[in-house]
Chain A
């Protein structure tokens, strides 16, 4: 480790890379060219964690929550299902940074997550419970239900009106699932979701560029011509 307080060479390297990105934002066509050249490969088909029933459930959820329209493709076409699968197969899903020692008690809501389950284990138990609830109530698993029933179930689930018999707390699972859908829609495409930066394009978030010292005044109360770049576009 060199003991220098300020690594000029490394800083210049980063500043130059960043400036290049800033310039390309000002020139949408060249930015587009750069994006095409550096576009990450589409995530390969197949699931690392989800089994076929679970995958069908997750695909149905993300497509219902994020339907295709003029603003974005549908959830599975954005890779939100892939994002969730990879998150569950990886460290986060296996309980990274999660204190997993007992004893286990339910506690009160202000004490936060208290389940003896990693996120992946909660998904496994939670999807089975949700489908069991759907079969009991609607005679079909979630992915076979029509739109109106999906909507009715999701509204009831998200507002605490659904209980999973002998299963994990329905609301805790919904909270985690919803958070992961949002993450899959808006995180860097590196993680499998937000493919083609469709989530960022929908709202006008410019992504990883961000050398804005000159832009603060230039774009004050003006629309920023965002053509978002992801980490892979600049690597």
Chain B
């Protein structure tokens, strides 16, 4: 029998970037806030010290900072005709666990998604006609605009110490930045990271080809920095251990050293770690949620935590899972296309080439998380005519290094044996003399890519696992072929000694190897309760005191990394919740 605790103003489920931002903002606004986090507390001093943190086996191969698939995972299939089976070990994506969440082990890439995404259906229909969008492509407008989100992007960039170069300030194109970005009010808080050789080689070739390369914006402080909350950052040391690792220098913007400790200084806020939330509770009226039930995983004790407001801020996949487990909203059905919970799961795609340059020294071990040069000529460049290519979306073209450690990164020309003396010689010869050119590509929503509850498999708490049905569709394959051609043409223009050409992906999506922890959708925001789970303030259409924050609200997935809009939307939602507390009602009438 669960112990019923005293009601609080707001309960936060999951404490990463989104939960941390809401914890800080709402406790500062005077709300009594409790956060429930299934993992432990982290601190730079105790958890991310040199030399222990420099351990590829522990953090990359053995998933030290990640969720434990033995306790909870997903079942996976490529289409509704397959039988889903559990993802028995993490692979393709790596959600984090603990106070700080995936915001501790990310690389820091921080982009501003624009109206090209937020108004995706209306803009493509307007320019290319309704028939340009395939019948099964369930893309829809998000209900929010870039102009509304701009101040919140700005806030997040300053909190997280993003280094970059503006390309468009108030409509004025800025030399050195991305000319295809949406207008910004002002520069990044920090200048760009120092370019590495691969960035320079790529940028020179990209310019020659008529593209517009620029330094990737990233929450790796290019110099020592104090953010607007007074949090001090060290300068990035280009240590080469970024993705999957915590940062010993406090140079990578992370919730465990920014918003979370600030919230913890506020007596209005309480963090309970090792608290596994298994259900969100609703009242008999079916209009309000009343709190959550959770288990203390250190001793098995069960609690009910009543709250006036529930803020669901776990990893995107976990947010959708909890909505389904709690019976909140109507589950999505791909046959009737009715229901919204589980709808529009999206992922990302990519392609890449490896270029070998005899005699050069790329020093791949010497890089920041964001040591990339990028070009958006086939991404946020709306002037690029998709009409003649027949695909929707975009891809960011880039080159650089991020965590190129030797278990995972040992490039050799295709055809090299996998072991023996010849393999050793090639591995030794090319490790420092190779670079990559690659793309990260968008994935448009599709009717048959979705989540529901698995009928067979259960987690450690006896609850159904969430079932993921996903594969790439023809739209992504067409874009992949275009991208591979662009990569290979660019790579050949650089005259490498040897070249492993990029190939367009044709195989089904697989749970191995690692691809991207950019899982989006499932409880999407939108303009109508018939087609979305949440309104533009990430407030549930069905339960007005429930807000769900994370990449699970994205109505489709872009080429860019998701954390920019995730952070901005968390600040946007914090303001909405503050208004909501004065008049607890739907913020948008259905």
Contacts and interface: CB of A to CB of B under 8 A. Distances in A.
Interface of A: 1, 3-11, 14-15, 17-18, 64-67, 69, 71-72, 92, 95-101, 103, 105, 107-114, 151, 154, 158, 178, 181-183, 186-188, 190-191, 199-200, 202-208, 210-213, 215-217, 219-224, 229-231, 233-235
A4 B511 CA distance: 39
A134 to B, nearest CB: 17
A98 B239 contact: no
B89 A113 contact: yes
Interface in B107-156: none
Contacts of B509: 110
Contacts of A235: 51-52
Contact of A100 (B57, B88, B233, B419): B88
Given A112-B512, A220-B363, A234-B51, 10 more contacts: A1-B264, A3-B265, A6-B250, A10-B49, A15-B234, A97-B62, A99-B73, A99-B87, A111-B87, A202-B427
Contact of B87 (A9, A14, A112, A222): A112
Contact of B194 (A17, A190, A217): A217
Contacts of A188: 54-57
Nearest to B457: A101
A216 B432 contact: no
A183 B431 contact: no
B261 interface: yes
A235 B49 CA distance: 11
Contacts of B510: 109-112
Contact of A11 (B62, B230, B234, B425): B234
Given A92-B62, A97-B69, A203-B410, A14 B248 contact: yes
Contact residues on B (Cβ < 8 Å of other chain), bracket: 35 or more
A7 B88 contact: no
15 contacts: A6-B257, A11-B249, A18-B50, A69-B424, A100-B70, A112-B76, A112-B510, A112-B512, A183-B61, A188-B54, A200-B406, A207-B54, A215-B238, A216-B238, A235-B52
Nearest to A158: B418
Nearest to B63: A97
Interface string B37-64: 0000101111001111011110001110
A31 to B, nearest CB: 14
Given A99-B88, A110-B78, A231 B55 contact: yes
Nearest to A206: B365
Given A110-B509, A213-B236, A231-B51, A224 B69 contact: no
B286 interface: no
Interface in B62-109: 62-63, 66, 68-70, 73, 76-78, 82-91
A203 B418 contact: no
Nearest to A96: B70
Contacts of A231: 51-52, 54-55
Contacts of B237: 18, 210-213
Nearest to A233: B51
A227 to B, nearest CB: 13
Contacts of A204: 428, 431-432
Contacts of A14: 49-50, 248-249
Nearest to A186: B406
A4 B232 CA distance: 11
Contacts of B257: 5-6
A103 B240 CA distance: 41
Contact of B196 (A1, A103, A158, A220): A220
A115 B49 CA distance: 37
B420 interface: yes
- Interface of B (DSSP majority class): loop
Given A97-B89, A108-B82, A200-B406, A208 B418 contact: no
Contact of B85 (A64, A71, A97, A111): A111
Contact of B425 (A71, A103, A208, A229): A71
Interface string B410-427: 100000001111001101
B240 A114 contact: no
B276 interface: no
A232 to B, nearest CB: 8
A67 B421 contact: yes
Contacts of A190: 55
Most buried by A among B90, B91, B237, B366: B237
B231 A183 contact: no
Interface in B196-248: 196-197, 200, 229-241, 248
A178 B406 CA distance: 15
A19 B12 CA distance: 40
B458 interface: yes
A186 B407 contact: yes
B421 A69 contact: yes
B384 to A, nearest CB: 32
A205 B194 CA distance: 21
Contacts of B89: 97-99, 112-113
A229 to B, nearest CB: 8
Given A99-B88, A112-B91, A205 B431 contact: yes
Contacts of B41: 1
Contacts of A199: 406
A158 B420 CA distance: 14
A210 B240 contact: yes
Contact of B83 (A9, A105, A109): A105
Contacts of A114: 85, 88
B217 to A, nearest CB: 18
Given A18-B50, A66-B419, A107-B85, A99 B69 contact: yes
A78 to B, nearest CB: 11
Most buried by B among A3, A109, A230: A3
A234 B406 CA distance: 19
A50 B200 CA distance: 49
A1 B365 CA distance: 34
Given A6-B250, A98-B70, A100-B70, A208 B365 contact: no
Given A10-B49, A11-B44, A109-B510, A213 B238 contact: yes
B68 A97 contact: yes
B573 interface: no
B420 A222 contact: no
B428 A221 contact: no
Contacts of A208: 50-51, 54-55
Nearest to B231: A5
A230 B425 CA distance: 23
Nearest to B423: A65
A4 B250 CA distance: 13
A220 B197 CA distance: 6
Most buried by B among A9, A69, A101, A233: A101
Contacts of B194: 213, 216-217
Contact of A105 (B45, B85, B265): B85
B64 to A, nearest CB: 10
Given A97-B90, A231-B55, A5 B78 contact: no
A216 B235 CA distance: 13
Contacts of A10: 44-46, 49
Contacts of B456: 103
B287 interface: no
Nearest to A183: B407
Given A3-B265, A183-B61, A231-B54, A210 B239 contact: yes
